[in-house]
Amino acid sequence: MSAPSRRTVISIAAGALAVAAVIGLALFQPWRLVTDKVVDEALPGTAPISMNPSSSTPPTISVRPDATPTRPDQTASKSTPTPPRVTDPTEAPASTPVTLAKGSFITHEHDTSGTARIVQLADGSRVLRLEGLDTSDGPDLKVWLSDAAVREGKAGWHVFDDGRYENLGRLKGNKGNQNYAIPAGVDLKNFTSVSIWCDRFNVSFGAAKLVPA
């Protein structure tokens, strides 16, 4: 059997390289290192912006020159405006979100900064809130609660799947403020850290140690 020609060998090698390149691009998605997705969510349950005017000056009422003047007895006959409601001092104030734990992100495989807070809302539900997050975009990024200690350097890159963790879902964006619901059955005593976890390559982009507030 004759050996394959040089042209055939080159063609086979080129085909193999093309397949490897396609697979590599699909896995690593290198273009995401220079792309950003910004998310800016409000904390659930926060008070809306007040729509009451801040000025105490009464409004100016314009009257047409040909309008008929109103007599005092006509003014008195009109309905009396409802007086403003006086707040009862015994009424309980509205519940507000409470921070249960918080921490600051450190860098692992990719530069990461921002803060993480576990917040209990007025209805008793809990969310993990990421504020001012700034990390790299990447494939298959998840937000994990973990029982692993947060370590600096490469020693802390791969520890978050060694023990107990709770996957709160895909990272909504690599920049900004965002909320992740914590299931009601999760016992927060079992979790001491948050990781931005790349599930495809089993590595932490960045993590924060949670300290009780």
Q: In whole angstroms, what is the distance from residue 92 CA to residue 79 CA? A: 33
Instruction: Compute the distance between CA of residue 213 and CA of residue 210 in angstroms, rounded to an integer.
Output: 9
Angle at 164 between CA 161 and CA 168, to 5 degrees: 80
Length of the chain: 213
Residue 45 pLDDT:
77
Supply the range of the domain harboring residue 117.
95-212
User: What is the domain-level CATH number for residue 167?
Assistant: 2.60.40.200
User: What pTM, to 2 d.p., does this model score?
Assistant: 0.65
Q: Would you say residue 141 lies in a domain?
A: yes
Over the stretch 44-56, which tens digit does the pLDDT of each residue have?
Answer: 977 443 334 334 4
DSSP state, residue 29: -
In which residue are the tokens 């200690």 written?
149
Question: Does residue 110 belong to any structural domain of this protein?
Answer: yes
Predicted local confidence at residue 89, as pLDDT: 44
The identity of residue 90, as a single letter, is T
Per the structure, the count of domains in the chain is: 1
Cα–Cα dist 55/80, whole Å: 23
pLDDT tens, residue order, the chain (213 aa): 566 676 665 766 666 555 444 444 444 455 455 689 999 999 997 744 333 433 444 444 344 445 454 454 554 444 455 554 544 444 444 479 999 999 999 999 999 999 999 999 999 999 999 999 999 999 999 999 999 999 999 999 999 999 999 999 999 999 999 999 999 999 999 999 999 999 999 999 999 999 999
Give CA 143 to chain center in angstroms.
Answer: 10
Is the residue at 137 inside a domain? yes
Distance separating the N- and C-terminal Cα atoms of the chain: 77
Q: Tell me whether residue 205 is in a domain.
A: yes
Q: Is 146 left (phi over 0), alpha (psi -120 to 50) or beta?
A: beta
